[in-house]
């Protein structure tokens, strides 16, 4: 196995769904420069939507190292449990998109232009003018 630096980060999942609190998170390894080159070589922008989504989902699964999520217990109650990579298949797209963006370091602007997504100039945030830190 190739040498790997011990670098992990977390995406907290509180606020996405009712009952999911600050104890819900996904822990992941950030995308490396080598990963970026490999992703670029897959030419995702030339793939159809289904293939591009599969590429994104697989990359996300490959980088997740753990976490905690809410699952439905035997009596229908919410139970905090260990995250499993296949849990991504059960999550709403906005949760998966957020995790993918965090792993890759992508910064997206809010298409509605909300104040949170705008830079100091009032223009939507981009990678060039964003003041956000990760």
In angstroms, the CA 79 to CA 17 distance is: 14
Domain for residue 1, yes or no?
Answer: no
Domain for residue 83, yes or no?
Answer: yes
Q: Is the pTM of this model over 0.85?
A: no
Domain for residue 104, yes or no?
Answer: yes
Q: Read off the DSSP letter of residue 106.
A: -
Please identify which residue in the block is written with the tokens 């699952």: 71
Write out the residue range of the structural domain in which residue 93 sits.
Answer: 9-117
Domain for residue 25, yes or no?
Answer: yes
Domain for residue 125, yes or no?
Answer: no
Domain for residue 72, yes or no?
Answer: yes
In angstroms, the CA 26 to CA 90 distance is: 14
Domain for residue 103, yes or no?
Answer: yes
Domain for residue 124, yes or no?
Answer: no
In angstroms, the CA 109 to CA 116 distance is: 9
28 and 66 Cβ atoms separated by less than 8 Å: no
34-73 pLDDT, tens per residue?
777 776 766 666 767 787 778 788 888 989 999 999 999 9
Name the domain count of the chain. Answer: 1
82-120 pLDDT, tens per residue?
999 899 999 999 999 999 899 988 765 554 444 444 444
């Amino acid at each position: 196995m190739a040498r790997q630096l011990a670098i992990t980060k977390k995406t907290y999942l509180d606020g996405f769904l009712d009952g999911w609190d600050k104890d819900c998170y996904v822990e992941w390894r950030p995308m490396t420069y080598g990963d970026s080159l490999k992703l670029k070589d897959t030419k995702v922008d030339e793939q159809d939507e289904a293939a591009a989504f599969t590429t994104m989902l697989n990359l996300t699964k490959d980088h997740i190292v753990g976490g905690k999520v809410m699952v439905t217990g035997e009596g229908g109650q919410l139970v905090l449990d260990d995250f499993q990579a296949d849990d991504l298949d059960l999550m709403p797209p906005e949760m998966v998109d957020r995790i993918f963006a965090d792993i890759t370091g992508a910064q997206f602007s809010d298409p509605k232009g909300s104040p949170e997504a705008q830079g100091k100039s009032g223009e939507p945030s981009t990678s060039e003018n964003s003041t956000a830190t990760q």
